[in-house]
Amino acid sequence: MTATGLLEVTAVRCPTPRTVRVTFTGDGLEELEAWPDQQLKLLFPPPGRPVRLPAVDGDVLRWYQAYLEIPEAERPVMRSYTVRDRAPATIDVEFVLHPGADGPATAWARTAAPGQVLGRYGPDAAYRRPVPAAGTVLLAGDETALPAIATLLSEVDNAAAFVEVADAAEEQPLPHVRWLHRDGAEHGSRLLEAVRDTALPAGSAAWLAGEASTVRALRRHLVERGLDKTAIEFTGYWRRKLTQDDAPTPEDLADAREKLGG
């Protein structure tokens, strides 16, 4: 499959008050192999401009270098997302409408309409993450992790799944999920409390995603309880008060070293 291309919006709906689900079609999607937790980069054009894609394909390092060489005024903003669902020639992506000032992706999602066009890089099988294998698999995250958790539940029969959302209105029809409502509490606090109170048999595995500091706290707690670090898949999808364009923090760099086994 071609790693880069254009995506056209064919449908927009809101499964919850704070979630926008967008259906895209585009060249190459019919060739897309399905796997759980399938990630891709979406490229949002500057206001009033069409999407300009790098003029190379294939190797991600060459592609990213070509992306950086696009003049800043024309360079699209790149953000990471997970495929929520797919059909033979379409994919669905969910956008969470966070409170506070909108970033470029959230601002786009609020007014998304059929016919609009974004760019993409991926999904790329080189970044496919393994499905945790164990007697019990803990899946834990906030609303940004819900698309990935939904796809993982289709592959994991022995999951204990926890999803923290703003309130009851943010629940989606999804079996085997324990929903945790913040209802004004600090982001991540309900999720941490629920995981701490959950019994996990020896030899369990875990998959964690969502706000970065919450993911770190969850992982630290599970390691203290005896889970092997190699049995924990973890990703910070977003950072409080920071965007993907901001420089990595020392904690972000430490996470990257852990993932690389350093």
d(CA 145, CA 238): 10
Q: Which domains does the chain carry?
A: 4-124 (2.40.30.10), 137-259 (3.40.50.80)
What pLDDT shows up at residue 125?
A: 82
Report the pLDDT averaged over residues 126-138: 87
- Dihedral class, residue 23 (left if φ above 0, else alpha if ψ from -120 to 50, else beta): beta
| Tokens coding 37 | 């937790």
Given a cut of 80, whether residue 180 has pLDDT beyond it is yes
Half-sphere exposure of 98 (CA within 13 A, CB side): 19
For 96-110, 154-168, 187-201, 207-221, which range has the lowest pLDDT when averaged over its residues?
96-110
Please, which pLDDT band fits residue 260 given cuts at 50, 70 and 90? very low
Residue 36 in contact with residue 74, Cβ under 8 Å?
no
Whole-number pLDDT of residue 130: 80
Instruction: For the chain, give the mean pLDDT.
Output: 89
Angle between helices 212-224 and 189-196 (to 10 degrees): 10
Q: Do strands 19-25 and 90-96 pair parallel, antiparallel, or not at all (unpaired)? A: antiparallel
DSSP 3: S
Tens of pLDDT, residue by residue over 199-228, are 999 999 999 999 999 999 999 999 999 999
Residue 251 confidence class, pLDDT cut points 50, 70, 90: low
Question: For position 249, what pLDDT does the model report?
Answer: 57
Residue type, 117: V
